[in-house]
Structure 1
Amino acid sequence: MTEFLNYKVDLTLKDGTKSTGLISQVDSQQIRLSNAIQSIQPKQTIPYLDIKSSEIADLKVIQLPPDFKQQQKRKQPDWDTSSDVQDIKSSNEFDFQANLAMFDKKSVFADFQKRDHTNIGDRLVGHNKIENVNKLKKEKYDNDEMVLDQNRTDNWDNIGTATTSKTGTPVVNQNGYKDSQHQHLKLINANNLGNVALASPVQMLEIERLATDSFGITQAMMAEVCATNLSQLIMESILGGASRLSNKKNHNLPPLVLLLIGSARGGSRAFATGRHLTNHGVRVLAFMINTVEVDADLQQQWKLFESSGGKVVISNIIELLDIINNQLDTPVEIIIDALQGYDDHLEDTFYQDEDQATLRKLMKWCNEPQQQNKIMSLDIPSGVDGGSGTLSDDSLKLNCRWCISMGIPLSGIILAYKNGNMSLRDGDIVHYLVDVGIPNKVYSSKGNLRKFDKFWYCSEASIKLEVSEK
């Protein structure tokens, strides 16, 4: 008991008196206090006062010895000193088993129950009692219970009606890349790493003209072949393939694809692709900035698209964003950019002030982070010149996630990378080359096209391309 020496204590005796002092000696029989003060004579200090243990009713420590903390720090054992364990085991000062026997667990829990006034039915254990479980459990469920609703609906069926108004309103600009220039870039086939020849816009016009005039492959036929192959690529590579689209038990609404229609050639192929996607259960919504100069092919594809279940919104971008954000329960998963062809520019297609304002608002919305990774540009991102890869207006460019070359890749793609108008960061833009049905004989019919004379597509209808710096 020597560890209690120099503790200042306040002793309450059984006769009601109190004594205060420093413990100078202690054993099992008595405690000696030094400089003691008794409550019956508070003004008198007794040098030594002996008090029998049997006379003590209560003991309260009122002050620790001055060197207690230093002693504790010096005596603090290391956590891994095994000799301390043996010291405790061999010590007779603390008998754990004897002290544990003094603890009356039964009486303590009886006291807990006596003080606890919580209704047994309000306890968690009360809900799990056999009688309650049997009371709530059903033997059989009705046919409309425990079943996910397979008839989720939104406002899709009411979109694109005759009440669609033609106005113009919100959305603006975007960010350019302007990375450091790279001089030795080329497109290669991702499968065999072979070089892929590039065509200028003039060469593409010549190739497609020869396909029509010499081989009878019209623009409508090329649009149909392109749509078949591109829609298949989209469904298998982006929309989840058969595991998602063929799952008849999927209670979710179908995927949503947005078409941005501008140029005649690209717009026709986008409409045709949207029609094929619609035929496979995908919901496709198209937005047209204006309908002033619509050529015959685009008009026909537009008609076929709507008759197959596609929806069209004209000019009113506020209506478009309201449909996407508020009226439909599915987010847009792909935005197909067909605003610009390889042989024209946005400023030429949308030259009216009202159309320009709508175009800027549309591009601003598309280039927001939520939409930017969903953009699939046909031929080349809108705003980038198909021949030089330059920008005529830095504020008018879409930052695409996928770039789809139709027939042959454009030379403007590599030049756009060199100019910093397309991002070279790994995985920023994924390139595909899609077969549009151009006969191989076209390339051998003229000398300036012989560099394209090869079988571009064998067993595949689309080829993944990569940008190489070697």
Structure 2
Amino acid sequence: MAADWLGSLVSINCGVTLGVYQGEVSAVDQASQTISLKQPFHNGIKCPVPEVTFSAMDIKELKILEIPGSGQGGHPDFSSVGHNGRSAKGPVVPSSAPMAVPRKGSSSSRGPSQATPKKNGLKNGQMKTKDDECFGDGMEESLDTDFDFEGNLALFDKAAVFSQIEISERRNGARSRGTPNERTPSRYRHDENILEAEPIIYRQITVPQHGGKEYCTDSGLVVPSVPFEMHKRLISVAERYGLSLERRLEMAGVCASQMALTLLGGPNRLTPKNVHQRPTVALLCGPHVQGAQGISCGRHLANHEVHIILFLPNFVKMLESITNELTLFGKTDGKQVSSVKDLPDSPVDLVINCLDCHENAFLRDQQWYRAAVDWANQNRAPVLSIDPPVSSRELAVEAKWSLCLGLPLPLAEGAGRLYLCDIGIPRQVFQEVGINYHSPFGCKFVIPLHST
């Protein structure tokens, strides 16, 4: 009978689109095949209207949560309700709002996954709490007692568990992790390798002719110096295999410019927000290969928004390599001057010295050279020398840093801190000139060297 439904708490599933409704049955109309709920909840949220009516055609599933007077969920006779929502004897649910209609075989008893609802959300006439309004009536009250974390943790016997793990690993041939009471024989830093490895060989480069000085990298690898004649032969063999002068100039220019950018402040100085403080670099070059390396470096620095002033005196005859580098440099925003008088009067950020060459010491006697040296020594800016020569005489321009190519030369103390750059010489080229070589560069192209 339709009256048997009244007062029951039901849950009506109307599918994905309309959702799930819960509430107390207030009316059942057999003729129109509708069911009405009062004080309804929609998907756990209380509806703004006091009553909602559903049509049997919209109902996918109907569950009885509680029958009045029984104290527990039951299942009234749904045999009169057809699958299409029509009723043969009694009424069926559905509405203009989407809901679920009970079908034959649908379970109305509470299963283990269903929560037991309260009979009603009011106690002694008191107002519903906010939780009741949010989550609906048919929910059991949560437990009042707090979970005892300390007591539960005390039930865990860590020593016994670790003992079982150790026994199991030994049976399976696995390495034991040890128990908490065992002391660790040694501790490792986050960057140390805990796996056993072969001992490091720090002397991985040996040369047939020693230059008289030895250096080491930050990781302790020994890098010996070589005499200029052996260095010259190494470059000649590399050129014969295809490492042309143009390639070496480009590599030297890139490495020197990267080092200069770091000396100028790197990302702290060269940012789009700091364009009003572009660093200024004075580049002093002579008419030789070392001067061409400096011009290549100046081009790369100018491409990175560094203000470059290139000093190169006028000569009747220029090397082809210098002419080519000047053509490329002319396409940048760099400035070229041929007189020391056109160099800045105020200190610049960095001076790059490429005045000297390895084989022509007579350039030091020329007027332009002495004038450029005097300007550099008076400017009070730090000096970076690129590929400085080995000289028994005191260096005319005292440098704070010097950059060597491939392998270091035995430079004088006035060369400052020594750096080494990789210009791309293959390992077999070193071997052909009698050098047992393993690259000391690691992941970098420019590394610092320390005197031993």
The CA RMSD measured in Å over matched residues stands at: 2.2
Q: Distance in 2 between matches of 1:203 and 1:379?
A: 15
Question: In structure 2, the residue corresponding to 1:225 is in which secondary structure?
Answer: helix
**Paired position in structure 2 for 1:343:** 359
C-alpha contact (below 8 Å) 2:212/2:225 kept by paired residues: no
**Paired position in structure 1 for 2:250:** 224
1:211 aligned to 2:238? yes
Bigger fraction of residues in helix: 1
1:253 aligned to 2:274? no
1:193-208 to structure 2, matched below 5 A, reads: 193-208=220-235
CA 343–409 in structure 1, closer or farther in 2 if over 3 Å, else same: farther
1:20-31 to structure 2, matched below 5 A, reads: none
Q: Distance in 2 between matches of 1:458 and 1:344?
A: 35
**Paired position in structure 1 for 2:311:** 287
TM-score, scaled to structure 1: 0.48
C-alpha contact (below 8 Å) 1:257/1:333 kept by paired residues: yes
What amino acid is the match of 1:364?
A: D
1:427-466 to structure 2, matched below 5 A, reads: 429-447=416-434, 450-451=435-436, 453-466=437-450
**Paired position in structure 2 for 1:361:** 371
**Paired position in structure 1 for 2:259:** 233
Q: Distance in 2 between matches of 1:362 and 1:410?
A: 24
Q: Which runs of 4 or more aligned residues in structure 1 lie more than 3 Å from their structure 2 counterparts after TM superposition?
A: 184-187
Q: Distance in 1 between matches of 2:377 and 2:364?
A: 19
Question: In structure 2, the residue corresponding to 1:242 is in which secondary structure?
Answer: helix
Q: Deviations over 1:101-128 (max 9, x none)?
A: xxxxxxxxxxxxxxxxxxxxxxxxxxxx
From 338, 341, 344, the equivalent of 1:318 is 341
Work out which structure has the larger RCO, using CA pairs closer than 8 Å and 6 or more positions apart in sequence: 1
Q: Distance in 2 between matches of 1:363 and 1:293?
A: 22
Deviation at 1:249?
Answer: 2.2
What amino acid is the match of 2:407?
A: I
**Paired position in structure 2 for 1:375:** 383
What amino acid is the match of 2:377?
A: N
CA 186–295 in structure 1, closer or farther in 2 if over 3 Å, else same: same
Q: Deviations over 1:334-372 (max 9, x none)?
A: 111111122332x1x366xxxx2232222122123x42x
Which runs of 5 or more residues in structure 2 are unaligned?
1-210
TM-score, scaled to structure 2: 0.50
CA 189–303 in structure 1, closer or farther in 2 if over 3 Å, else same: same
Question: In structure 1, the residue corresponding to 2:351 is in which secondary structure?
Answer: strand
C-alpha contact (below 8 Å) 2:383/2:398 kept by paired residues: yes
Deviation at 1:231?
Answer: 1.2
Question: In structure 2, the residue corresponding to 1:438 is in which secondary structure?
Answer: coil
Deviation at 1:433?
Answer: 0.5
Q: Deviations over 1:40-94 (max 9, x none)?
A: xxxxxxxxxxxxxxxxxxxxxxxxxxxxxxxxxxxxxxxxxxxxxxxxxxxxxxx
Deviation at 1:292?
Answer: 2.8
Question: In structure 1, the residue corresponding to 2:223 is in which secondary structure?
Answer: coil
**Paired position in structure 2 for 1:74:** none
Q: Distance in 2 between matches of 1:185 and 1:272?
A: 31
The alignment of Structure 1 onto Structure 2 pairs a total of residues equal to 242
Question: In structure 2, the residue corresponding to 1:332 is in which secondary structure?
Answer: coil
Q: Deviations over 1:216-264 (max 9, x none)?
A: 111111111121222112212x111122212x22252311111111142
**Paired position in structure 2 for 1:138:** none
**Paired position in structure 2 for 1:399:** 398
CA 299–340 in structure 1, closer or farther in 2 if over 3 Å, else same: same
1:43-62 to structure 2, matched below 5 A, reads: none
Question: In structure 2, the residue corresponding to 1:307 is in which secondary structure?
Answer: coil
Q: Percent identity?
A: 26
**Paired position in structure 2 for 1:390:** 392
